[in-house]
Amino acid sequence: MSDVKKVVLAYSGGLDTSVIVKWLQETYNCEVVTFTADIGQGEEVEPARAKAQALGVKEIYIEDLREEFVRDYVYPMFRANTIYEGEYLLGTSIARPLIAKRLIEIANETGADAISHGATGKGNDQVRFELGAYALKPGVKVIAPWREWDLTSREKLMAYCDEHSIPVDFSKSKKKSPYSMDANLLHISYEGGILEDPWAEAEEEMWRWSVSPEAAPDEPTYVELTYEQGDIVALDGQPMKPHEVLETLNKVAGANGIGRLDIVENRYVGMKSRGCYETPGGTVMLKAHRAIESLTLDREEAHLKDQLMPKYAEVIYNGYWWSPERRMLQAAIDETQKNVSGVVRIKLYKGNVIVAGRKSEQSLFDESIATFEDDAGAYDQKDAEGFIKLNALRLRIAAGKGRQQA
């Protein structure tokens, strides 16, 4: 007999998690609590309530977490200009720690013995959910059905639904996207289908948030982003909450053909995976943030921050948001943002994000020193001679010993 009396399930209302509800009830003879998070996936989450009720679920949590998601997770990540393996803006990765946190909080509220999720045994998400859960509640039991059951195909899942009278929103005859997709306010991801062949080009019909650069308007769109201590607080002078900023940028950038990405990435579990991503707003945010930092950060501060970024990205990608190393890195990154305030003007044109201007009261750019015109003695060019000779000293000594470079 199972020692699990109650389990909190991360529940989308889709095929997989609907099957998981019934499977948990039968396999563990336990009560299931469902948790559905609205993090801006672009679909109604309220219908999940009726689906859960139809499966006999008594405790149902449906929560709008959009503001918390962008404010407490996306914004801190973008302060670091975070990209994984040079391209990926970590849209899926950054959503998992928030979901893990709420799963544990709901487990504590309801007195549940375990949590459960619908991530497969091949992916990164199982790692991210569970590392977060164990960091926040060390003794929690995690049930990962995809690592336990024998329902290893879509056909078997559908047969299970038929056998257990589980209502689903589609039939075998109804057209469904061939891709495995995951969406939130930061991005939408696509995997599977023809994308499993790295040589195959993604179909134009696949993309949902952006037009192709070829179909984008012939006239550019300008947008001004106002920063305070590293975070965007207004667009075109209009104050906005973090999630409103991202929602707006997604629409504007997507309409200009911005944010598409096609990569082969290295998963933490060891395999390579080909995925396509749409991150319109995030693509603009990255470019604009680097622009305002170029004015306001000290050179060595900026360079050290760039050295820390790949490690920070890896920590998030691999699921260690709640780790001491992420908190340590975050403290260093946030310290650099105290003077990162000002306005960046961005031009969006046919898939391109172009910095058209930047200004800040905290700017370290001194026109009187940088000018090519008469600087009235602000910079003594003769000083450069000693600077160069001192920096060349070790090179000159080595060359004097005959250590010529090839």
Report the alpha-carbon distance of residue 378 to residue 371 in Å, rounded.
10
DSSP 227: E
349 marked ligand binding residue: no
* 3-class DSSP assignment, residue 75: helix
Report the alpha-carbon distance of residue 271 to residue 264 in Å, rounded.
10
394 marked ligand binding residue: no
16 marked ligand binding residue: yes
Cβ contacts of 41 within 8 Å, gap of 6 or more: 182, 183, 184
128 marked ligand binding residue: yes
277 marked ligand binding residue: yes
332 marked ligand binding residue: no
10 marked ligand binding residue: yes
11 marked ligand binding residue: yes
Asked if 3 is an active-site residue, the reply is: no
DSSP 88: B
13 marked ligand binding residue: yes
Asked if 125 is an active-site residue, the reply is: yes
118 marked ligand binding residue: yes
* 3-class DSSP assignment, residue 188: strand
93 marked ligand binding residue: yes
189 marked ligand binding residue: yes
**Tokens standing for residue 299:** 């050179």
Amino acid at 38: D
Report the alpha-carbon distance of residue 47 to residue 50 in Å, rounded.
6
Is the CB of residue 358 less than 8 Å from the CB of residue 343?
A: yes
12 marked ligand binding residue: yes
Asked if 153 is an active-site residue, the reply is: no
* 3-class DSSP assignment, residue 239: strand
Catalytic-labelled residue, pool 38, 125, 182, 231: 125
Report the alpha-carbon distance of residue 100 to residue 350 in Å, rounded.
38
**C-alpha distances in Å from residue 6, one per residue of 31, 116, 142:** 5, 10, 12
Of 62, 58, 61, 53, the closest CA to residue 6 belongs to 58
Is the CB of residue 58 less than 8 Å from the CB of residue 156?
A: no
Catalytic-labelled residue, pool 38, 66, 79, 96: 96
165 marked ligand binding residue: no
Asked if 374 is an active-site residue, the reply is: no
Amino acid at 316: I
Amino acid at 279: T
How many CB atoms lie under 10 A from the CB of residue 160? 17
Catalytic-labelled residue, pool 180, 273, 323, 363: 180
Residues of each annotated binding site for L-aspartate: 120, 124-125
Residues of each annotated binding site: 10-18, 37, 88, 93, 118, 120, 124-125, 128, 180, 189, 265, 277
Residues of each annotated binding site for ATP: 10-18, 37, 118
What are the catalytic residues?
16, 96, 125, 180
